[in-house]
């Protein structure tokens, strides 16, 4: 098994766990930090989409959604307007993961196509 096939998922998982721990252990009155942490989740999602295409982007966004949802449910419960904004953010995680993954996958397929054409022309 290739080294990058294990390293990349571990990097992504480390990002998601690290950001989630920041969320869960930061006091709620520091909401500006939670807003930053919430946006940090886009980094592993986009990275997964670039590295692994559509499936990677969607899988990572789903994992992020599962990791982040309990934080909303149990720590922000009772603040309906804040909860809605955070649930919409989860929707955006999945949209970004899907769109970025699809674009990345298409670009990869296009590159392979062009390489085949270039070899044919040689």
* Residue ranges of domains in the chain: 3-121
pTM: 0.86
Report the mean per-residue pLDDT for the chain.
90
Instruction: Supply the pLDDT for residue 83.
Output: 75
Cβ atoms of 90 and 69 closer than 8 Å: yes
Neighbours of 10 (CB within 10 A): 9
The answer to whether 49 and 57 are in contact (CB under 8 A) is yes
pLDDT, one tens digit per residue, over 13-27 is 999 999 999 998 999
Spell out the alpha helix ranges (H) of the chain.
3-25, 31-40, 42-70, 80-121
Q: Which region holds residue 120: left if phi is over 0, alpha if psi is between -120 and 50, else beta?
A: alpha
């Amino acid at each position: 098994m290739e080294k990058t096939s294990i390293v990349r998922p571990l990097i992504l998982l480390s990002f998601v766990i690290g950001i989630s721990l920041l969320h869960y252990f930061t006091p709620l009155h520091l909401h500006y930090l939670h807003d930053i942490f919430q946006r940090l989740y886009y980094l592993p999602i986009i990275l997964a989409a670039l590295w692994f295409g559509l499936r990677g982007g969607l899988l990572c966004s789903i994992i992020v959604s599962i990791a982040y949802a309990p934080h909303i449910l149990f720590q922000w419960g009772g603040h309906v307007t804040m909860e809605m904004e955070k649930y919409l953010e989860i929707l955006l995680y999945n949209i970004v993961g899907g769109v970025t993954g699809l674009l990345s996958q298409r670009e990869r397929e296009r590159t392979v196509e062009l390489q085949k054409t270039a070899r044919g022309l040689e």
